[in-house]
Amino acid sequence: MAEDLNCTVLYDLHLSLGAKMVPFAGYEMPVQYPLGVMKEHLHCRAGAGLFDVSHMGQVLLRPISGDVADAARALETLVPVSILALAEGRQRYALFTNDAGGIIDDLMVANRGDHLFLVVNAACKAGDIAHMRKHLSDVCQIEEITGRALLALQGPAAETALAAIAPGVAAMKFMDVAVIASGFGELWVSRSGYTGEDGYEVSVPEDRAEAFARELLAQDAVEPIGLGARDSLRLEAGLCLYGNDIDTTTSPVEAALEWAVQKVRRTGGDRAGGFPGADRILQEFETGATRRRVGLLPDGRAPMRAGTPLFASAEGGEAIGAVTSGAFGPSIEAPMSMGYVSVAQSATGTTIYGEVRGKRLPATVADMPFRASTYKR
């Protein structure tokens, strides 16, 4: 392992399973296993895939007052999302924004009764924690969790596989959270994930994580899945990868993430504004942005990958945007991309052109997800 990279507690397990390791977000992570990216992707869609996501940040926000509403109200000063309305035992997608209206990170927030539990992206976690400590420390104790691994179990067989260890998970619905006792210690479970499949994310004590993973992998339906398939799965599901599809220069409206900003936080709502970049973001809700994140289905079989410039016509003219993610979709059996284009070219069905190796090739603006998601509602 390279000296300047971190490793998760499951590093040795990955090696024993034959994983190919690559640098990712400061960690040495499995990009694929002997099954291969294509088969891993399809297995997750048909059975259950186990992902190591222990590189991500786990954070507890404990209100000093003891009232979780105080923590929720404080967090709302940093996110354009309704946290106060989040019921106990429920989780919500959120965005940290900056003063320019850009996105610092996307994250998950859960209400666990007397505190909030956050999961943030690996590459952003140090900055996110510093950001919260700077702005929320007068209201909350901010605790970074360092002694727990995080695994995602995704796919139609995920419920059966996890319920064999923790029967209580079967009753959970999409975006439910629960703390469940098990033979592997206390499991912090959410029924969620980033593949478009039904499934779970499970925080488990580090000293039991490998045994927990092996118990799942011993089931015929479960295979280990690496970053390669994780990327194609989330892209088929139309989900953003922070740093590629959203970043500090993109606003929630540009990123087509309006659904993540509840009406109560928008102009006219009871708790409108009060978050960084509110002036720009709320204005864009009223008048629109100049560019838009869209799905793209390129003609032919070759993907248009990140960085491909996009044009309104086959010849001449300035670029109207660029691809931010692109791959071949094993489930849809076609290439797929997402990227930003000017609003004038953002309507579903519009033909635009990506410049690949000096040639402009057609692609059609398409609705996302590219494959319907299968969450358990």
- Give the model confidence (pLDDT) of 155-193 as tens digits: 999 999 999 999 999 999 999 999 999 999 999 999 999
**What fold does the segment set 258-366 form as a domain?**
Elongation Factor Tu (Ef-tu); domain 3 (2.40.30)
What does the pLDDT read at residue 3? 60
Return the closest-CA partner of residue 276 out of 38, 80, 115: 80
47-69 residues labelled b (16+ CB within 10 A) or e (exposed): bbbbbbbbbbbbbbbbbeeeebe
β-strands 48-52, 222-224 pairing: parallel
User: Could you read off the pLDDT of 283-330 as tens digits, one per residue?
Assistant: 999 999 999 999 999 999 989 999 999 999 999 999 999 999 999 999
**pLDDT beyond 50 at 1:** no
| CA 341/CA 321 separation, integer angstroms | 4
> Which residue is it, tokens 């040639």?
359
The domain defined by 1-249 folds into: Gyrase A; domain 2 (3.30.1360)
Q: According to the model, what pLDDT value does residue 327 have?
A: 97
Place 4 in a pLDDT band, splitting at 50, 70 and 90. Answer: confident
Q: Is the pLDDT of residue 126 over 90?
A: yes
Neighbours of 347 (CB within 10 A): 11
- Interior angle at CA 287, CA 281 and CA 292, nearest 5: 70
**pLDDT of 196 above 80:** yes
Rounded to 5 degrees, φ, ψ at 14 are -60, -45
Location of structure tokens 């009223």: 286
| Vertex 298: Cα angle to 309 and 192 (nearest 5) | 95
**Domain boundaries defined on the chain:** 1-249, 258-366
